[in-house]
Structure 1
């Protein structure tokens, strides 16, 4: 994967001189995609706490929590609301009518797989993409093509469609919202790009830090969903337990900041207080730290280049604290090394990696795949996919690769005997 002339997320380009003095007059218009998920609900909290800074014009969600979506729409007085599941449109309209008074105009309702894309391209200043999964790619592209500032929490859209995103994004158009990449974004202000020696991406280690691979074979979904520091959705929580999430973040850091993979390191930090670090060529390391609360990077993504006062909690520096740093156990957690390999392959390989993982996580949660079988199966699918062909990547290429990877992952996962702890490789033998 070749580096582009400038990083996708450059805090220097996104922070013009004098911009930090004061926010612009009037609230900034925001569209929130994935508003009923973990990122979306916390973004709504940030907006409601800062009505002088932000105004939400539209919301989108998948459709599984229609009542919450209607409540958000009413509280925020949005112009439009969308659900990707067309069969939920009627239920959403009923929920809206129940919330709104007789004299209150109802927001426009959009439904279907392209509804989020329509909102992403609508008139606003910033689009927060908080959708989970690679289905966020199309809305990411729509927001960039429309010239909106993109507060990006949907890492999968960048990972599976990196070249497509790079081709559309203008300098400074993307502001990362993942806590790790927001931390890198801020720490990079401490020097020039040429002065960066290494990016240090921190990982909590998840609920299984310190366990061997043998000890991981028989962990249950309930075990894996018990994250020690972060409250997240089930897919992201399982990805954190396997450290697939960290592998995805390594690829994302490479794409956002154009730092080679051999200069991006993962460091285990169980407390999740330091969100990531940048090591510079003079030996100095800058770290961004704060309590593990996503409202901080969300507020920064919505308000950049301005900070939002009191966006989240702060440390009590009068209380003793201990912060630990540990090396990553790549034998027990091979997902990061696999992600580096996939990122270096480029092309459709990251899409295959991500799609296969989403299917394997679903199989694990439903009891059809062992915990270690998740990454084993993903690795098998990546190996079968092979080296991507040359030439420019298209959206159709990405979608075709994902479809193949999902089908193949389901086939391989179905052969795994979870009750015996057999891996996919063992099941294929």
Structure 2
């Protein structure tokens, strides 16, 4: 039986993880739960699963990870605030099932230096798919990684057609039910840009060998192309419980966590090239990833502020990525060691710069 701590237990990832555990009580035991602020929901979860150790807020979550023995910590927190718990988990030597991509992206080299080989297991569906496909060959046999993107609610629109889109339209994702920030990031494709950086950090593949293709059916979750011309794809109906279950017990598969594809029904899978003019976030993310240092932290922090401003009606949809690009291009990296404190300072500066630009919009 594997013991599990779930950070962000009342969010989308956390509740689906509890679904997996609820269906497999002899395989998993919840030993710790943490939430941002929803104490009532936390208490209900703790009562159902018999959990003694709980936490509210990031500081308590970090202490929970440090104090409680577990086989795996599932980090389902949203945003860069998840960096502290990610580092605490890695420092303790516990397996990290990572759904909080921002902590890896913002932490960058700081996180990868701490992590032992195989200690981070990706939970994002795209990176889980790549991890599964990579088992088909050796590191030297990999030619490129191909991440799939649904295209979000504005797939097929030209840049000029995105000027007047509303927050409600941006939140109408065709496939996934996610929170406000992640869903908006999927509409701008910032989320896919973050995933490109994450793929580089997780699998140590250069950015010029990481591609994105638009796949609106969201059945093929990502692919690995090998040097012999073979491409291995992981395909399944969209259901996060599958990659979550692999994160909890990698590399073992958990039976019946999701439904399989129905091969008796006719269906079509399509793949389309990405329109970089309409969705420049991926090219910007690659630029940021290559720059390294605190640039990814600046990129992510500026985006979070721009997304909030868009939903408050202060800027338009296209202004989100334009704001991020302006902040990134104006950024001057400090001459100091990359630490948790220095990254926090870089984030504060980026948020201030983004808000200053937004105020002038």
> What range is the shorter-chain TM-score in?
over 0.9
Q: C-alpha distance in 2, partners of 1:389/1:199? A: 32
User: How far apart are the structure 2 equivalents of 1:236 and 1:398?
Assistant: 21
Is 1:241 aligned with 2:187?
Answer: yes
| Structure-2 residue corresponding to 1:82 | 55
CA RMSD, Structure 1 to Structure 2 (Å):
1.0
Once the two structures are TM-superposed, the CA of residue 57 in structure 1 deviates from its matched residue by 0.6
Which residue of 1 is the match for residue 288 of structure 2? 342
The number of equivalent residue pairs is 360
- Aligned partner of 2:12 in structure 1 is 38
Q: Which residue, out of 78, 84, 88, partners 1:142?
A: 88
- Alpha-carbon separation, structure 2, partners of 1:325 and 1:281: 21
Say which of 213, 218, 228 aligns to 1:267.
213
**Alignment partners' CA distance in 2, 1:385 and 1:181:** 29
- Corresponding residue of 2:32: 58
- Residue 360 of structure 1 contacts residue 374 of structure 1 at CA under 8 Å; is this kept in 2? yes
Contact 1:125 1:149 in 2 (8 A): yes
Offset at residue 293 of structure 1 (A): 0.6
| Partner of residue 364, structure 1 | 310
Which residue in 2 is equivalent to 1:398? 343
Contact 1:58–1:80, Cα closer than 8 Å, also in 2: yes
Deviation at 1:70, TM superposition (A): 1.6
Matched, 1:117 2:62: yes
What is the CA-CA distance between 1:66 and the residue it aligns to? Answer: 2.8
What secondary structure sits across from 1:317 in the alignment?
coil
Counterpart residue number, 2:249: 303
307-316 or 236-245: which moved more?
307-316
Superposed, 1:6-405 pairs within 5 Å as 27-63=1-37, 65-84=38-57, 113-121=58-66, 122-386=68-332, 388-389=333-334, 392-405=337-350
**Structure 2 gap ranges (5+):** none
Matches of 1:369 and 1:236, distance apart in 2: 18
Contact 1:381 1:405 in 2 (8 A): yes
- Cα distance, 1:238 vs structure 2: 0.2
SS in 2 for 1:283: coil
Report how far residue 389 of structure 1 moved. Answer: 4.9
Deviation at 1:140? 0.3
Following TM superposition, by how much is the alpha carbon of 1:67 offset from its aligned partner in structure 2, in angstroms?
2.5
CA distance in 2: counterparts of 1:170 and 1:318, whole angstroms: 44
Bigger radius of gyration = 1
Distance 2:357 2:152 in 1: 26
